[in-house]
Structure 1
Amino acid sequence: MFSRIQKLKSGVESCNKALLPMALALALSPMNGHAATAWGTTGTHAALLKAQSTSAATASYVINAHGRPKVQAQVSPLASTQVLHVAVSLNLRNVAQLQAFNKSVNTRGSANYHQFLTPDQFKAAYAPTDAQVQSVVTHMQQSGFTNITVSPNNTLVFADGNAATVGTAFNATMKSYTENGKLRFGNDSDAMVPQALSGIVGSVTGLQNVSVKHPLSHIGAQLSSVAGTGTQSGTQSGPTTVLHPPTQFPLIYDAGTTPTAYNTTVGIITWGDLTQTLADLNTMTTVNGMNPVNVKVVPVTLAGAKDFSDDPGGDGEWNLDSQTITGTSGGVKQLVFYTAANGLPGSGDAELTNAGIAAAYNKAVTDNIAKVINVSLGEGEISANQSGDQAVDDKIFAQAVAQGQTFSVSSGDQGVYTESGGEFETNAGVVLPAPFSISTYVASEPATSPNVIAVGGTEVTTNGTAWAGEVTWNDGIADAGDGNNRIWATGGGPSAFEAAPAWQATALGATKRQVPDIAFDASSVTGAVIYIGGQRYGVGGTSLASPIFVGTFARAQTYANNSIGFPASYMYRDFPNNPAVLHDVTSGNNGVYYSGTTYGYNAAAGWDYTTGFGSLDISAFNLLAYTWGDGTPPSGVAPPPVVTALTNNVAVTTQGTPGVAQQFTFVVLAPGTSLTFRTSGGTGDITLFEKLNSAASASSYDHVSAHPGTNTESITIRAPAAGTYYLTITGGNAVFSGVSVLGSVQ
């Protein structure tokens, strides 16, 4: 009897599957005559809104974003020859169960603890079914779209069309205008789908390029070709504000003996051609005596969008990301660039839209080889929500959490004014408010996603290469290089749309997602020295802060055998009780001061809207993060640094690379008159640290010798006590070699 019932049930299911396309075809058959179609809504709203006008001929438009900025150019129907590359985002199944799984997979004691899913397992449990996907594909085909492809996880359907096919498929009309010589286009009505698909389709991305995610970096002036740290203020004997080669961030944030990220694969979201980026990365590692980086470039096409021409404006961003991750991590197992296809204005091909960026996110997730993925991109959250892109991103990042991957996202570079691009006007040198309410704040997306780590910005001061202090990053209002004056400050604040994840609701009492979670250096004054086109530039922005975290977390993942999942819940649980892990940033602001009022958010003790919990001490964080893993010993951990024992009055020769310390010991058997350590000869620039009876480092020493630009250093200790003296030699921003080290006791 049971087998007969099973056969009957199977027959019914097969019949239903066969009938679904037939029913859908009947529902869609009158598509050529819109009047017979019943439409359902999607999460994609109009990008352009028609303003009040006396007639259609004189109609004006505003952008569907905060403040409703007016389109200054003439708006007309989008030409039918303009190719549109769209991505239709499908709704996940079993969403409540997925949220519960993502919580339990990172909860010790749960049956799901660290049982991360594979992409196939995620697809089977939570992705749209093949039948649902086919129903969308059929609709796209019948509407005239071409080059239709489906993502491996069934969540995105890519296709090529034009204004006419968009009208047929989504009951939306397309408009365009020219701004600064570039074609801008967008839908001036909400995207809709037939009722038969309304529960399947979530949103349609790629219908507009009016509001698109942009890099979050602040590239300064070209620096001198002379090796060093660039510009500096202050004095050598006290805290300074100075640009740093990426190899110095492990020293500044106290990596100590923390292993490099040699066993962890890291991803970066990019677009366009990466030839120059890879060449500059090789220059950076060569100059700093590092091993060449194992790189992989993964081109991510979007239907027929297959152009990967160079975007000179993006080179600086990808260079900042890759060089900072490499320098901070000390080297990774592999660096994977997920690069979206560019569009070429005027060629009949649309410019890059958020559809291409979402495709790159999704490829990093379906590949599931990068444990940590950097995203130095963002846009105003209101725009992202109205276009439906926020919902698209959230689904992708939720899958990453289920698989144990971590996306790190810059929190934004325009303070609390991300929606407007942070642009302000000036009049006779006096800063005036931008043409919107400066008391209304908007956070940056995708930093507001509850499924990413949002990284804010600080301005760090150093004592040599040791951390000396941090404040909230806010460079104020300055020329953006495009004729506009713009605020340069860390993004932060509450989300307008995302509910607070459980870990923030518990720790902060929050009802909405709040950003950032942590922060690192982002100031253009204290930022990174980056090679761009073979030349050195000072670069800041939260696009620097996020890669510093990525390099830091990649180190922790290697030490924990890549067993740590998405770390947000651990951070909010453990950080308040482990203050040694943090540099709490308690001063600064991410807004503007105008007419007697300070706008934006202020830093404060503990978590705040400008820098989250603050920055991390890498050594302390590594030890804490290890407890978030599965507890197994690191796999193939590199051996600890070799400690060389010095003999009285016998010189040894050493060499090293930036960020890697050479360590020595010298035993004094009985109290003496004097003890001297000297270094000389060879090439490069070194610093000498000494400590009695425990390892010396840039953050823990009894004596230091740090003369700039030389290998001639010395430390003399009067009346040395008996014991073991530890000597540590670190390089500057270049290789040092052939250095003679001598210990002498009297």
Structure 2
Amino acid sequence: MNTSPRQATPATRPLPAGARFLGPHTSPDPMTITLVLRRMGPAPTPAAWPQHPRWPRGEFGAHCGAAPADIERIRGHARTQGLVETGCEPHRRVLQFSGSVDALQRAFGVQLGRYQWPGLSGYVVGCDRPPTLPADVAPTVIAVLGLDNRPVAKPQFRRPLATPNQSYTPLQIGQLYNFPANTDGSGECVALIELGGGFSQADLTTYFTGLGIASPPTVTAVPVAGGKNSPGGDADAEVMLDIEVVGALAPGAAIAVYFTPNTDQGFYEAISQAAHDTTRKPSVISISWGGPEDNWSAAALAAMQSALEDAAALGVSVTVAAGDSGSSDGESDGQPHVDFPASSPYSLACGGTTLTASASAIGSEVVWNETASNEGATGGGVSTNYALPAWQQGSKVPQAANGFAGRGVPDVAGDADPLTGYQVRVDGQDQVIGGTSAVAPLWAALLARCNQSLGRAVGDVHAALYQIGESAFHDITRGDNGAYAAGTGWDACTGLGSPDGQKLLAALAAQATAAAGKGAAAKHPQA
């Protein structure tokens, strides 16, 4: 699979409406940067579940980490510029340095500036041009992160503006989607990536007790790049929604919440650290944050993509919210856009539906689109950066608006309409929340339960899901998200559809049995 961006992406991130350049950045405080290095060999190519061998986390670096010579070449340049090394993790291909503003500007040929940013007090630091490096060093570096700390993503949750038509506990959603019996995620770990906010253990205890969950999940906060569990703001709704959906539907799984700053450096570090975590060993990563694909710099896209590629190679599934602003993804140019990291071919992109239940069964399910009442709509469309993957070749993915044959988004779906939303508890208050932010943890919990039953992580599950097709999904055939309409089979609104968990597990188990049979036949061919 070609994982590099195929279309021109911004060299530096564009300014949104309301942002303003204030002047040069002249702070005396040092800054810490992250350099993401190239691999010492070819990129890992994760094969489809269930045949593929995986590098164990402890051995991955020896095959796919950074080359010692590359590390020394970068160190030499950093020393001549007065930078101080603060971290080196060859298995993740990461070098970290600290330096003054002047030293960093000299080392990377940039001018750092202060920017007023919409919705934020104070200022943020931005970079006026892509960093440059000497000719002998430049090929070794994928990205220099940390010179730009402008926010890169937003949480994909929606509070209803009107009174919900219907709302559900996560347990009720699990019943409607027929989550597999006799599973609770035991033995698995689900990682949540959070770019702000926090949780209260007291709230979680109250919530899970109220649902009748006798043994609530263990929730651990993991600080990354200066981030921390910091409740008290609007992003708490995202954090609590993620934890409560996973914790209710997979209470036997451990939950690790990786808190990181909302920057390209922080986002990259959180995904990379979760994928390579040898202590908690998550088998699923859930991400409910993102931003329009064309708002990312080329270097940030490349760095994030390399972290997601690592996760796939390590057998970790990554579920990502597809966005809550319809086919425009919140852009105002009249063109369709998709959200990243949902648009990565290594992300299981999760779209949204409007789900109505009748007598404990699904009464109707259509594409979530409440744009007319300002209640949001599911993201979905076609990437202008990532080429159509092999596993989507038969899905009739339309071309992007610019004619590019790109990766279609989303892959799967679930209830996301805030008017048919999830009953959760946030900062001491019971409330209803929707958005594709709920669908990523929903699918993370389902995959954790499948992993438990199968006795092995499904990892990069795209090829398996597209092979299984409609037999394990509720095909959503009504509605649109703006530029795209639902139809039979895959569509750019709800992907393959919402899950029938028991049928999905049975299909994955059948694939594993068939693969085992082929393997045995290959080892012992008939005479």
TM-score using structure 1 length: 0.63
1:138 to 69, 76, 79: 76
Q: State the shift of 1:530 in Å.
A: 0.7
Q: Where in structure 2 are the equivalents of 1:15-414 lying within 5 Å?
A: 45-47=11-13, 63=15, 69=16, 73-81=20-28, 83-95=30-42, 98-99=44-45, 102-103=46-47, 106=48, 113-146=51-84, 148-151=86-89, 153-179=91-117, 180=119, 181-220=121-160, 233=165, 242-255=166-179, 257-271=181-195, 274-276=198-200, 278-302=201-225, 305=226, 309-310=230-231, 312-329=233-250, 331-340=251-260, 342=261, 352-367=262-277, 369-384=281-296, 386-414=297-325
SS in 1 for 2:133: strand
Aligned residues: 499
Q: State the shift of 1:308 in Å.
A: 5.3
Q: Where in structure 2 are the equivalents of 1:531-546 lying within 5 Å?
A: 531-546=425-440
1:629–1:85 CA distance, 2 compared to 1 (3 A): farther
Work out whether residues 115 and 126 of structure 2, in 8 Å CA contact, stay in contact via their aligned partners in 1: no
Q: Measure, in 2, the Cα distance between the counterparts of 1:220 and 1:557.
A: 34
1:359–1:630 CA distance, 2 compared to 1 (3 A): farther
1:502–1:530 CA distance, 2 compared to 1 (3 A): same
1:372–1:154 CA distance, 2 compared to 1 (3 A): closer
Q: Measure, in 1, the Cα distance between the counterparts of 2:181 and 2:144.
A: 48
1:44–1:190 CA distance, 2 compared to 1 (3 A): farther
1:495–1:44 CA distance, 2 compared to 1 (3 A): closer
Work out whether residues 166 and 173 of structure 1, in 8 Å CA contact, stay in contact via their aligned partners in 2: no
Q: Residues 685-715 of structure 1: CA distance to partner in whole angstroms, max 9, x if unpaired?
A: xxxxxxxxxxxxxxxxxxxxxxxxxxxxxxx
Q: State the shift of 1:91 in Å.
A: 1.5
Letter in 1 for 2:391: W
Q: Measure, in 1, the Cα distance between the counterparts of 2:227 and 2:436.
A: 29
> Radius of gyration: which is bigger?
1
SS in 1 for 2:294: helix
Q: State the shift of 1:82 in Å.
A: 5.3
Corresponding residue for residue 402 of structure 2:
none
Q: Measure, in 2, the Cα distance between the counterparts of 1:565 and 1:47.
A: 32
Letter in 2 for 1:268: L
Corresponding residue for residue 6 of structure 2:
none
Corresponding residue for residue 367 of structure 2:
472
Letter in 1 for 2:287: V
Q: Measure, in 2, the Cα distance between the counterparts of 1:582 and 1:168.
A: 55
Q: State the shift of 1:206 in Å.
A: 2.5
Q: State the shift of 1:273 in Å.
A: 6.6
Corresponding residue for residue 608 of structure 1:
491
Q: State the shift of 1:487 in Å.
A: 6.8
Q: Measure, in 1, the Cα distance between the counterparts of 2:96 and 2:271.
A: 14
User: Does residue 379 of structure 2 align to residue 496 of structure 1?
Assistant: no
Corresponding residue for residue 5 of structure 2:
none
Q: State the shift of 1:630 in Å.
A: 6.2
Work out whether residues 414 and 487 of structure 1, in 8 Å CA contact, stay in contact via their aligned partners in 2: no
Q: Residues 25-66 of structure 1: CA distance to partner in whole angstroms, max 9, x if unpaired?
A: xxxxxxxxxxxxxxxxxx982236xxxxxxxxxxxxxx2xxx
Q: Higher relative contact order at CA 8 Å, sep ≥6: structure 1 or structure 2?
A: 2
Q: CA RMSD in A?
A: 2.7
Q: State the shift of 1:221 in Å.
A: 6.7
Q: Measure, in 2, the Cα distance between the counterparts of 1:582 and 1:564.
A: 18
SS in 1 for 2:486: coil
Q: Measure, in 2, the Cα distance between the counterparts of 1:561 and 1:260.
A: 13
Corresponding residue for residue 455 of structure 1:
350
Q: Which ranges in structure 1 are unaligned for 5 or more consecutive residues? A: 1-42, 49-62, 64-68, 223-230, 234-241, 343-351, 423-435, 479-485, 592-599, 634-746
Work out whether residues 561 and 632 of structure 1, in 8 Å CA contact, stay in contact via their aligned partners in 2: no
2:507 to 589, 610, 624: 624
Work out whether residues 12 and 127 of structure 2, in 8 Å CA contact, stay in contact via their aligned partners in 1: yes
Q: Residues 448-503 of structure 1: CA distance to partner in whole angstroms, max 9, x if unpaired?
A: 1111211001110100331112111112156xxxxxxx672111111111122221
1:572–1:246 CA distance, 2 compared to 1 (3 A): same
1:91–1:610 CA distance, 2 compared to 1 (3 A): same
Letter in 2 for 1:604: G
Letter in 2 for 1:265: C
Q: Residues 164-222 of structure 1: CA distance to partner in whole angstroms, max 9, x if unpaired?
A: 23311210111112234341331111211111111100112222244512211112479
SS in 1 for 2:420: coil
1:145–1:297 CA distance, 2 compared to 1 (3 A): farther
Q: Which ranges in structure 2 are unaligned for 5 or more consecutive residues? A: 1-8, 399-404, 517-527
Q: Measure, in 1, the Cα distance between the counterparts of 2:147 and 2:422.
A: 36
Q: Residues 365-411 of structure 1: CA distance to partner in whole angstroms, max 9, x if unpaired?
A: 11151111110110111122x25221111111111111111010001
Q: Measure, in 2, the Cα distance between the counterparts of 1:256 and 1:280.
A: 27
1:317–1:141 CA distance, 2 compared to 1 (3 A): farther
Work out whether residues 117 and 402 of structure 1, in 8 Å CA contact, stay in contact via their aligned partners in 2: yes
Letter in 2 for 1:295: T
Q: Measure, in 1, the Cα distance between the counterparts of 2:513 and 2:98.
A: 45
Q: State the shift of 1:128 in Å.
A: 1.3
Letter in 2 for 1:529: Q
% of aligned pairs identical? 25
Q: Measure, in 2, the Cα distance between the counterparts of 1:44 and 1:290.
A: 48
564-573 vs 179-188, which moves further: 179-188
1:158–1:446 CA distance, 2 compared to 1 (3 A): same
Q: Measure, in 1, the Cα distance between the counterparts of 2:377 and 2:352.
A: 8
1:273–1:605 CA distance, 2 compared to 1 (3 A): closer
1:437 to 322, 333, 350: 333
Work out whether residues 188 and 448 of structure 2, in 8 Å CA contact, stay in contact via their aligned partners in 1: yes
Q: Measure, in 1, the Cα distance between the counterparts of 2:208 and 2:49.
A: 39
1:279–1:158 CA distance, 2 compared to 1 (3 A): farther
Work out whether residues 204 and 388 of structure 1, in 8 Å CA contact, stay in contact via their aligned partners in 2: yes
Work out whether residues 129 and 154 of structure 1, in 8 Å CA contact, stay in contact via their aligned partners in 2: no
Q: State the shift of 1:513 in Å.
A: 1.2
Q: Measure, in 1, the Cα distance between the counterparts of 2:493 and 2:182.
A: 28
1:572–1:275 CA distance, 2 compared to 1 (3 A): closer
1:312–1:246 CA distance, 2 compared to 1 (3 A): same
Work out whether residues 143 and 165 of structure 1, in 8 Å CA contact, stay in contact via their aligned partners in 2: yes
1:494–1:487 CA distance, 2 compared to 1 (3 A): farther
Corresponding residue for residue 505 of structure 1:
393
Letter in 1 for 2:39: L
Work out whether residues 516 and 609 of structure 1, in 8 Å CA contact, stay in contact via their aligned partners in 2: yes
SS in 2 for 1:95: coil
SS in 2 for 1:357: helix
1:524–1:406 CA distance, 2 compared to 1 (3 A): same
Corresponding residue for residue 525 of structure 2:
none
